[in-house]
Amino acid sequence: MTPKGLFVSFEGIDGSGKSTQARRLAETLNARGHETVLTREPGGSPGAEEIRALVLQGDPDRWSAETELLLFTAARRDHLERTIRPALDAHRIVICDRFADSTRMYQGLSRGDLRGAVDQLHDLMIGQEPNVTILIDMDPAAGLARAKARQTAEERFEDFGVALQEDMRAGFLALAQEFPDRIRVIDGNRSEEAVAQDVLDAVETCLP
Ligand code: ADP
Ligand code: TYD
């Protein structure tokens, strides 16, 4: 725990179980008397939720990778200003379903190499990393099948198909090697309970 609360993010491909595990972690920590704020990206503040609809709905070709990068960064900046920083200042545990690592992957890798631009914009406009990131590693086809079974309007990225999921999985595992002190890799191809126990073990080491 830093003097200003604890910032936990969940990352992984679509359908890997991030939302399920983020919710379970919040419930477990709340039951133990911690004050948590469960939030998500894109979104997590009223303005960022409006941007969410722009980036997650519609045709896969609706935006270029560069335009998307600006939209996701604008949403993150608003989320940081209005939700994350106030919660950390109030010493809460922020549990965020996706954060900047998703931009490093989806906008940085998916359509050419934009990682340099992603990093520059992050340094300029965000400048904050989670204290700990849980990467739920998952078979790409199984993740996509789980995600597609939800049948929501927010399928723009899922419509890029399994090849994108495969690239993202490999990219996330490489990112875990780039940030070994922050990112913990957990095998998501197991029961919800087994994954939840590993998540709790990883987060507990960061609690006071
Ligand atoms: P994400 O947020 O990573 O897209 P979700 O938590 O929404 O993933 O999970 C996607 C779907 O898979 C949901 O229907 C959820 O109930 C289901 N699910 C989550 N975790 C597991 C698990 N360990 N085993 C089987 N199904 C799961
Ligand atoms: P999310 O709602 O977490 O989808 P899922 O539950 O299927 O994992 O995120 C929706 C999509 O947004 C996901 O396919 C990844 C994409 N995304 C980016 O491309 N860049 C980003 O910075 C973020 C936060 C998400």
* Residue 62 belongs to some domain of the structure: yes
Which of 13, 102, 135 has most ligand 2 atoms within 8 Å of its beta carbon, as the pocket-test mutant?
102
What are the DSSP E strand ranges found in 68-128? 93-97
Residue with tokens 């204290």: 131
* Mean per-residue pLDDT of the chain: 94
Query: CA angle 168-18-39, nearest 5°?
Result: 115
Q: pLDDT by residue (tens digit) across 57-99? A: 989 889 999 999 999 999 999 999 999 999 999 999 999 999 9
Residue with tokens 């379903």: 97
* Residue 1 belongs to some domain of the structure: no
For residue 33, the tally of other CB atoms under 10 A from its CB is: 6
Q: What's the rounded mean pLDDT across residues 181-207?
A: 97
Q: How far is the CA of 150 from the centre of ligand 1 (A)?
A: 9
pLDDT at 118 over 50: yes
Range of the domain at 101: 6-204
Percent of the chain with pLDDT over 70: 98
Residue 24 near residue 134 (C-beta atoms within 8 A): no
Q: Which two tokens stand for residue 148?
A: 């597609």
Spell out which residues line ligand 2, taking CB within 6 angstroms: 14-15, 18-19, 41-42, 56, 72, 97-98, 102-103, 106-107, 147, 157
Domain total of the chain: 1
pLDDT at 2 over 60: no
State the CATH number of the domain containing residue 175: 3.40.50.300
Spell out which residues line ligand 1, taking CB within 6 angstroms: 12, 14-20, 146-147, 150, 191-192, 195
The number of C-alpha atoms within 13 Å of 48 and in the hemisphere containing its C-beta is 21
Higher pLDDT, 147 or 35: 35
Which of 14, 70, 175 has most ligand 2 atoms within 8 Å of its beta carbon, as the pocket-test mutant?
14
Q: Which atom of ligand 2 is nearest to the CA of 97?
A: 3
pLDDT tier at 1, thresholds 50, 70, 90: very low
* Residue 33 belongs to some domain of the structure: yes
Rounded to 10°, the helix 46-56/65-79 angle is 160
Amino acid making up residue 126:
I
**Whole-model pTM over 0.85:** yes
Q: How far is the CA of 133 from the centre of ligand 2 (A)?
A: 15
Q: What is the DSSP letter of 28?
A: H
CA distance 71 to 61: 15
